[in-house]
Amino acid sequence: MWLNSLFTALSADHLMFLLLGSVLGLVIGAAPGLGPVFGLAIFLSMTFSMKPTVGLIFLSAVYASSVYGGSISAILLNTPGTPGSIATCFDGFEMSKKGEGGRALGASTISSFFGGIAGVLALMFLGPFLAETSLKIGPAEFFMLALAGLSLVAVASKGDTIRGLMMGGFGLLLAFVGRNVVTGSARFTLGTLYLEDGIQFVPLVIGIFAFGQAIVLAKEKGCIAKATKVTGVMQGVKETLTKPISIIRSSIIGVAIGILPGLGINAANFISYLVEKNSSKHPETFGKGEICGIIAPEAANNASTSASLIPAFGLGIPGSSTSALFLSALMIHGLTPGYGFFSLNGELFPTIIWGMLLAQVSFLVLGLLGANYFVKVTQVPNALLVPIIMVLSFIGSFALRNQVLDILLMVIFGLIGYYLTLYKYPMACLVLGIILGDLAESNFNRALRISHGSLKIFIERPISLILLIVIVLSMLFPYIKKFILMRIRKKPA
Write out the residues near other proteins by the rule CB under 8 A: 24, 28, 34, 38, 42, 162-163, 165-166, 169-170, 172-173, 176, 180, 182-183, 185, 187-188, 211, 214-215, 218-219, 221, 381-384, 386-388, 390-392, 394-395, 398-399, 402, 404, 407-408, 411, 414-415, 418-420, 422-423, 425, 440-441, 444-445, 448
H-helix or E-strand spanning residue 385: helix 382-399
Q: Of 370, 334, 471, 272, nearest to 69 (Cα)?
A: 370
Q: Which amino acid, residue 203?
A: P
When the beta carbons of 82 and 272 are compared against other proteins, the nearer one is: 82
- DSSP class of residue 79? -
Evaluated on CA atoms 15, 17, 20, 21, the torsion sign reads: negative
CB of 218 to other proteins, least distance (A): 4
Q: CA-to-CA distance for 457 and 287, rounded, in angstroms?
A: 39
CB of 166 to other proteins, least distance (A): 4
CB of 249 to other proteins, least distance (A): 31
Listed in sequence order, the DSSP H helices in 316-422 are 321-332, 341-344, 348-374, 382-399, 405-422
Q: CA-to-CA distance for 119 and 114, rounded, in angstroms?
A: 9
When the beta carbons of 33 and 289 are compared against other proteins, the nearer one is: 33
Q: Of 107, 18, 118, nearest to 368 (Cα)?
A: 107
CB of 74 to other proteins, least distance (A): 20
CB of 425 to other proteins, least distance (A): 7
Q: CA-to-CA distance for 442 and 245, rounded, in angstroms?
A: 35
Q: Of 436, 429, 481, 435, nearest to 158 (Cα)?
A: 429
Residues 160/482, Cβ–Cβ less than 8 Å = no
When the beta carbons of 110 and 156 are compared against other proteins, the nearer one is: 156
- DSSP class of residue 123? I
When the beta carbons of 46 and 252 are compared against other proteins, the nearer one is: 46
Residues 337/330, Cβ–Cβ less than 8 Å = yes
CB of 23 to other proteins, least distance (A): 11
When the beta carbons of 423 and 479 are compared against other proteins, the nearer one is: 423
Residue 136, class by beta-carbon neighbours within 10 Å (0-12 exposed, 13-18 middle, 19+ buried)? exposed
When the beta carbons of 315 and 420 are compared against other proteins, the nearer one is: 420
When the beta carbons of 289 and 414 are compared against other proteins, the nearer one is: 414
- In the three-class reduction of DSSP (H, G, I as helix; E, B as strand; rest coil), residue 187 is classed as strand
CB of 385 to other proteins, least distance (A): 9
Supply φ then ψ for residue 32, to 5 degrees: -60, 135
CB of 277 to other proteins, least distance (A): 22
When the beta carbons of 361 and 415 are compared against other proteins, the nearer one is: 415
When the beta carbons of 173 and 248 are compared against other proteins, the nearer one is: 173
Supply φ then ψ for residue 187, to 5 degrees: -130, 140
CB of 205 to other proteins, least distance (A): 16
Q: CA-to-CA distance for 208 and 185, rounded, in angstroms?
A: 28
- Paired residues of 178 in beta bridges: 187
